[in-house]
Structure 1
Amino acid sequence: MFLSIKLWCAFVALAVSHPASTQPKLYDILLNGMQIGELKVYTTTAKTGEIHYRADADASVWFFGRKNITMLISSVYKDKLMETASFHEKLNEKTQNLSLTNWDGNGYQVTLNDEKVALPARRITYSTAILYHREPKNVTELFSERFGKFCPIKPVGVGKYQLTMPDGKQNLYTYVNGVCEEVEVHTNLYRFRFKLRK
C-alpha cells in the first residue's frame, strides 16, 4: 500500500506536537484470556486550552507466524470541538491504515490512505479516542478516526455501550462509575479484550 510522504509527515507532526501525559491509564490486551499486549491511554491539556486524547496499543499474536500489531489513535479538541485527528495501524512495522482529519474553518478534510473522504458539514464533538476517557452518555453517534466516518453507538445495559463500525463489526465498551473498565474489539480474525489494569 503506497502512502504519500506528505501524508506521513503530516501524521508525524500531529503525533509529536502534543506530548502525552506522564501518567497514562494502562489496559491489558487479552486474547482467549491470555495477555498479548498493552494499551496506553493519555490526556493532555495545552496552555492554549486544547485537549489531546491519545491511545497507543502494542500487541503480538501468532497466526501463521508472529504478527506484531501497533495502533495509535489521536484527537485534539478545543472548546469541545474536534480540530485534528489521526489513526495509524501497523502490522510487522508495515503501515496498514493511516488516516488524518483536519478542520479548515469550513469543514473537515479527511485523508484515508491517500484518498479523500467526504464528511457532512458539521462539527465533531465526540470520537472513538474519547471513549477511553469519558462515558458516552446521551451520545448516539461518534466519529471514527480509523474510518473517517460517523458511527452509531447505543446503550445495551448499565454502563455498557455498543459501537457499530462502518464495516458492520460491533465493539462493546463497559464503564463503572464513569470509568472505562473493559472493551471488546472485534476484527476479521480475532476478538480482543482491553481490560483496565488496577
Structure 2
Amino acid sequence: MTLLFAYTSLYGQTLNYDVIRNDKSMGQTVVKRILKGDELTYHLNTKTELRVIFLFDIEYDLKETFKNGKLISGTGFNTLNGSVQKETQMALKEKFYELVIDGIRTEINETNITESVSEIYFEEPHHSKRVFSAYFGRYLNFEKVGERQYSLTSPDGTNVYTYENGICTKVKVTRDFATFEFILKPESLLAVRNKQITGKTND
C-alpha cells in the first residue's frame, strides 16, 4: 500500500473544490497535477451554474505542460451556455512563445516561462511573485494580503488565494457581477493536512 500510494502521489494528484455563492454550491473545480516522464502537466477545469436574472452555464478549462521546469505548451477555453467565448493556444518555439487567442497569433518575447497561473493551486506564491497568464497574454503579479493569503488582480477582477502546506485551500473570486469562493472539499483537505498531497511553500 505504501508503494502504491507513493506511485500515485508522484504521478498524479487531484484537488477537488466546491464553488460556493451565498452558502450554496454552484459547481465544482478540479485541478490535476500529472507527471509523465520528464513532463509535468497541470489541468484545471471549472463548471458552474450562475443565476443573475438568467441562468448561465459556464465552463473554464486550462491545461499547461512543463518540461525541465519550463512551459512548453498550453491550451485553454471558456464557454457560456455551451458557446465558446474565448480560446487560447500557446507553444514554445525556438526563440519565442507563440500565443493564439481566438485565432489571432502573437509572439511573446520570452524563451523561459517557468511560472504560470496553472501552478498556483499546488504552489504557494512568494510576495510579489509574478505568473504568466496565457488567457490574458501577459504576466500578473501577486500581493501578500494576510497570513498565507495572496491577492492576484487581472482584467477580470481579483482572486484571493489561501494556502495550507503549500496547497491552495480556498479562493475568493470577486467579479463585477458576483463574488464566490472555491473551497477545497473535505476529502482533499484531509489529504493536504495529512501531507498526502503537498505543494511548494514560501518558507
TM-score by length of 1: 0.82
Written as runs of structure 1 = structure 2, the 5 A alignment for 1:1-198 is: 24-47=14-37, 49-137=38-126, 140-165=129-154, 167=155, 169-198=157-186
Report the 3-state secondary structure (helix = DSSP H, G, I; strand = E; otherwise coil) of the residue aligned with 2:170: strand
Q: Which has the higher strand share?
A: 2
Report the 3-state secondary structure (helix = DSSP H, G, I; strand = E; otherwise coil) of the residue aligned with 1:24: strand
Q: Deviations over 1:60-103 (max 9, x none)?
A: 11223221111101110011110011221001100011111110
- What is the one-letter code of the residue matched to 1:43? R
In structure 2, how many angstroms separate the alpha carbons of the residues matched to 1:118 and 1:190? 34
Unaligned segments of structure 1, at least 5 residues = 1-20
- What is the one-letter code of the residue matched to 1:70? E
Q: How many residues align?
A: 176
Partner of 1:10: none
- Give percent identity, aligned residues only: 23
Bigger Rg, which one: 2
Q: Is the 8 A contact 2:99 2:134 kept in 1?
A: no
Structure 1's 145 and 185: CA in aligned 2 closer, same or farther, altered over 3 A? Answer: farther
Which aligned segments of 4 or more residues in structure 1 are displaced greater than 4 angstroms? Answer: none
CA positional deviation for 1:23: 5.4
Q: Is the 8 A contact 1:59 1:69 kept in 2?
A: yes
TM-score by length of 2: 0.81
Unaligned segments of structure 2, at least 5 residues = 1-10, 187-203
Structure 1's 162 and 138: CA in aligned 2 closer, same or farther, altered over 3 A? Answer: closer
Q: Deviations over 1:19-45 (max 9, x none)?
A: xx8752100001122110000110111
After superposition, the CA RMSD in angstroms is 1.7
- What is the one-letter code of the residue matched to 1:197? K
